[in-house]
Structure 1
Amino acid sequence: MPSLPSSSCLVSVLPEMSEELTELYRRGTPANTLRAWERDLVYIRAWKQLTFGTDMTWPEEERVALRFLLDHSTALHDPAHPAQGVALALIGLGLRRSLACPAPATLDRRIASWRSFHRMRNLASPFDAPAVSAARSKARRAADRPRKPKSAKPVTREVLETLLATCDYTARGIRDRAMLMLAFASGGRRRSEVTALDIEDVGADDYKTKGVIWLRLLETKTTTRALAPRLPLKGRAANALLDWLKVRPAGPGPLFRPVSTADRVLARRLAPDALRVILRHRLTQAGLPVDYASPHGLRAGFLTQAALDGVPLAAAMKLSLHSSAVQAQRYYADVEVEMNPATELLG
């Protein structure tokens, strides 16, 4: 198989404008989306080279889109299946995990990326063709499966208190306590949002008079820099963050930083996945399985706890920044069903 092409150029227009437009798309797209696009582009190119022996074309042919859809809408364990060899090669390249049917969400994301690549070139996507679109609808229904939560369990207040009890007063303990409490109390922040915070995003001017620290989120999954939300942090969470600011070296830059084995705060930014590592460490310290919850459990836990405490959904969404009430309502629905008095009709 030939080497995979570079994904540096996503725009195909007049040569004198391609570089500028590529840079414009990069600056105007969230970093997480860019990383997903690059991974999907590598995967799609490898799949087409292995399947058809050619590189991607623009616009792509409908038969290629339909073949991609069919090959990713069924399990490929049968050696007689013509797509098994390609799947095994993708597994060998580290681009596919198994011969099982990919999750519908994974296929949806890759198709969405492919469509985006066409839009960048002002071209029609083959996935919008009637035959391909209809096949996609049937494939989604055929591969439908129960929704799998992003975290095994929600990190509710009780679980969070257990984790916080493992945080001592070393620099690492103070940082971990501040990160966990900030992630939960500010609305269930995503791990990338927590590690992306800079000291300039923290406003403590109102703390002495109102007991409030303001957090500015420059970019989230559902907002942009132009509409950067400001979220309040109060009570113990605000105090924990102030404790960290006393330990963190003064100066601009990342709010949360790595701590060395000698308990010295380093200058660089934490990795985007740092909250997962910290959470797993605290779960282990608390005597819980490392897979008890993921960072998304803090987000799920915030909404679950809000439901348990009777907080109106709209109020919780003001902090969680969910763009869809339907998505946020799922956490409330589980609590409401459990507490429904109709479940006790037989005593």
Structure 2
Amino acid sequence: MSQDIERYLQASIRANTRRSYKQALDHYEVTYGGFLPATSDAIVRYLVDHASTLSSNTLKLRLAALAQWHVSHGFPDPTKTPLVRQIVKGIRTLHPRQEKQAEPLQLRQLEQCVQGLEVAERRARAENDWPRLLRCSRDRALVLIGFWRAFRSDELCRLRVEHIQVRAGEGMQLFLPWSKGDRDNHGQTFSAPALAKLCPVQAYVDWISLAGIARGPVFRGIDRWGHLGEQGLHPNSVVTLLRGVLQLAGLSPEFYSSHSLRRGFATWATRSGWDLKTLMQYVGWSDGKSALRYVDSMGGFPGQLSALQLIPGRPERLP
């Protein structure tokens, strides 16, 4: 019975969160040499020792992990004392840091990436390079779906063929049983448009037809002989994949991460006249502050609308 309880408790915490919490606890116990359970004084000393080297967001994550450990093991939470809260506030005041953000992948750069992949696909087909042909087709579908749906890397990696419905010339629906914004795990269905160019729907159809995938993960690893893996890509591999695509397109990859697709779409939508509420509904943000972090503040707000007009719920053909 206890094993069943533990299994459900583990399932209640997302895999990424579990990994982050484990790393945080390892840092406190192994690297720092702290003891669990901890006192609030010990937590304060830990925070002070790392105030100048760790960002406030990292310290916040460490505190959340420590709090979760104490609560789940039946101990009082030492991170919620007034002294700890005051120390955290003091650290933010004395050690302000600008949050690092990945560059948004702009529409022009997205087009360069897709063109680079299409050229590489044609060359691979001419040279009968099956593994390279597969990778280019997969990467094109991943980049286009990731941009137009503003998906996180883990959401892209959890897409399954049986959860996707395609309507030729209209669009596609993608179902995710759970996502970060779906706290109660009810599942969400996302729509993506069919477009005259840079089309995520056609790229998806091209990929699964070429790879012969009928069920299971949409995006998978491909070995040197062109064999597809059974499991979906690991979320951490998406940034490497994306940087490879950028390099192929002749762009500098070092400033980009997997968040660049999400930030790129948010920036494009804002410049194209979407209000914040519409953007939040389309992407699935429930918090306006979260949405604003992804919008590129350097480019201003809509003056001229983009040639691409994407309206949630009503896919439009491009000129």
TM range (shorter): 0.7 to 0.9
Question: Identity percentage over the alignment?
Answer: 23
With normalisation by structure 1, the TM-score equals: 0.76
Distance 2:77 2:5 in 1: 20
Q: Hey, which of these two has a bigger chunk of strand by percent?
A: 2
- The counterpart of 1:44, out of the listed 28, 41, 46, is 28
Q: CA 1:182–1:308 in structure 2 vs 1: closer, same or farther (change >3 Å)?
A: same
Matched to 2:178, the amino acid is E
Displacement of 1:338 after TM fit? 6.6
1:184 aligns with 2:162: no
Matches within 5 A, 1:1-347: 17=2, 19-47=3-31, 49=33, 55-57=35-37, 60-74=38-52, 101-149=53-101, 151=102, 153-168=103-118, 169=121, 170-186=133-149, 188-204=150-166, 207-208=167-168, 211-224=170-183, 226-235=185-194, 236-332=199-295, 334=297, 337=300
Secondary structure of residue in 2 paired with 1:166 = helix
Instruction: Quote the Cα distance in structure 2 between the aligned partners of 1:331 and 1:273.
Output: 19
8 A Cα contact 2:270 2:302, kept in partner:
no
Deviations 1:38-77 (A, max 9, x none): 111211111453x6xxx412xx212211111111113xxx
Q: Secondary structure at the residue paired with 2:174? A: strand
**Contact 1:303–1:316 at 8 Å: present in 2 too?**
yes
TM-fit CA distance, 1:117: 1.1
The Cα of 1:266 is off from its aligned counterpart by 3.7
Find the structure with the greater CA-based Rg: 1
Structure 2 CA distance, aligned partners of 1:48 and 1:282?
39
CA distance in 1 between counterparts of 2:252 and 2:5 reads 47
Specify the code of the residue in structure 1 equivalent to 2:110. L
Shift of 1:166: 1.2
Shift of 1:334: 1.6
Tell me the amino acid that sits aligned with residue 86 of structure 2: A
Deviation string 1:200-241 (CA, Å, 9 cap, x unpaired) is 22122xx04x71211012222221463211011121111111
Q: Tell me by how many angstroms 1:132 deviates.
A: 2.1
> Any idea what SS the aligned residue of 2:228 has?
coil
CA distance in 2, matches of 1:333, 1:177: 24
Q: Choose 172-181 or 222-231, whichever is displaced more.
A: 222-231
Q: Count residues in correspondence.
A: 286
Q: Cα offset for 1:111?
A: 0.6
- Aligned mates of 2:261, 2:215 — CA distance in 1: 27
String of CA shifts for 1:300-341, please: whole Å, max 9, x gaps. 00000001111222222222212211221345572674779x
* Counterpart contact for 1:171–1:265, Cα < 8 Å: no
For structure 1, list consecutive stretches of 5 or more residues without a partner in the other structure: 1-15, 75-100, 341-347
On the 8 A contact 2:112/2:249 being kept in 1, the answer is yes
Conservation of the 8 A alpha-carbon contact between 2:152 and 2:262: yes
Deviations 1:244-288 (A, max 9, x none): 120222442211112233444343322222221211111111112
Distance change in 2, residues 1:287/1:140 (3 Å)? same
